[in-house]
Amino acid sequence: MKSLGNTRRDFIKAAGLGAAALAMPGWLAAGEKANRRKPNIVMIMVDDLGYGDLSSYGGKDMKTPHVDKLVAAGMRFDNFYANCPVCSPTRASLLTGRYPDLVGVPGVIRTHLRNNWGYLAPQAVLLPKLLRRAGYHTAIVGKWHLGLESPNVPNDRGFDHFHGYLGDMMDDYYNHRRHGINYMRLNEKEIDPKGHATDLFTQWAIDYIKERSGSKQPFFLYLAYNAPHTPIQPPKDWIQKVKKRERNITDRRAKLVALIEHMDDGIGKVIASLKDKGLDDNTLIIFTSDNGGQLNVGANNGPLRAGKQDMYEGGIRVPMCAVWPSMIKAGSRDERVALTMDLFPTICEAAGASVYNEIDGRSILPTLLGKNQPAAERFLFWVRREGGHYGGRAYYAARYGDFKLVQNNPFEPLQLYNLKDDPKEQKPLERRHPMYNKLFSALRNHIIEAGAVPWEKYPAILSS
């Protein structure tokens, strides 16, 4: 083991960027490189889906056949983590391959300055920019949540096509407003479509797939649903369907199950469109959630402690699977610890896109392809900064191996757990345990580095 007193950056430099920095996909043998077409890539991120809120992840009162089919058709991860227990930071990590606070997004980006806790750094290099260099057409359909105006909107940050929602949550799934503001866009044009947001995003994704199916150019589609984020507002017929099937379910739980099942149905339609256009055999599909489920609206995080907003496992461990016919073995399963930011280099490596900028994520493509990939020895960090009763303060978690240091809100002490012996985080270890100070020091170094990212100053500079 390397000295744990060094900074996180030292570990990254020692490890290197790995195969994602290659100009051609590392998973191809030399003779295949000239013949193999680059895969289309569909990245599906859903919003606030609990670890136990899929049938395939143990949900007993719901039917999610389409995501379950994805899980069965590829590799399921049991220890996959969102980069934050709330929305914007995890999305920043997906699209930059970095810890969110290192790209200016330590908390949720919102409409009003006094309740806004991030600004995506101008110097951050986003995934679509690298994929475009590798020959891809790039699109986002659905929730953006990384900026509400130029230059931090999708088309300014590398996406060729945007059809979706700039903001955070919608106050209503049917009128798509937030604080009375319409954040729905087709590229840079404000639009006012009719219908449930889940249905709209599903159809817009299908429209994009149909449009690109006639081109030889590979595409990257980032499909980001608002569901099942609050408000828990499924179509009424879906609630009735759940209540008829689940006789003893509560009204609160029935509404959330219906919202998830409605979303699952939409995902099924998107997958069907890939098959209909003959694209499914050479498309890499990745599915995950931006954080854990929200307990006070009935979410199920399985055996994990706590939920959304928490640094305990229920707030950050999420479902994840990847499907790529003939490349990823169907029905496979892996215990590797990985984070949202690892999907950035994974997607780049699959696409043959060079990574020339510094990232924190590490490609898991060898694992997906069934190759031997030693477990990564690295520190992992989580941060969330928030207003309200948090008072603008941040709170943290850090992990190395089986040991996890948790501060679940800014006013609680740090506690150390051994996740192997205590997966439900019920038995904090003594502070004198040697891993306490090692993780504490590593977290301190991360905080020092993130402190040099002036996310609060950018809005003031732009408005002056």
Catalytic residues, which ones?
87, 145
- Angle CA(357)–CA(42)–CA(313) in degrees, nearest 5? 75
Residue whose C-alpha is closest to residue 196's, from 158, 154, 239: 239
The DSSP bridge partners found for residue 107 are: 385
Cα–Cα distance measured from residue 191 to residue 220, given in angstroms and rounded to the nearest whole number: 23
Cα–Cα distance measured from residue 296 to residue 301, given in angstroms and rounded to the nearest whole number: 12
Q: How far is CA 35 from CA 29, 282, 297, 374, in A?
A: 11, 13, 50, 29
Provide CB contacts within 8 A for 218, sequence distance 6+: 37, 38, 39, 40, 41, 135, 136, 137, 351
Cα–Cα distance measured from residue 309 to residue 385, given in angstroms and rounded to the nearest whole number: 10
- Residues 361 and 92 sit within 8 Å (Cβ to Cβ): no
Residue type at 287? F
Say how many C-beta atoms besides its own lie within 10 A of residue 266's C-beta.
23
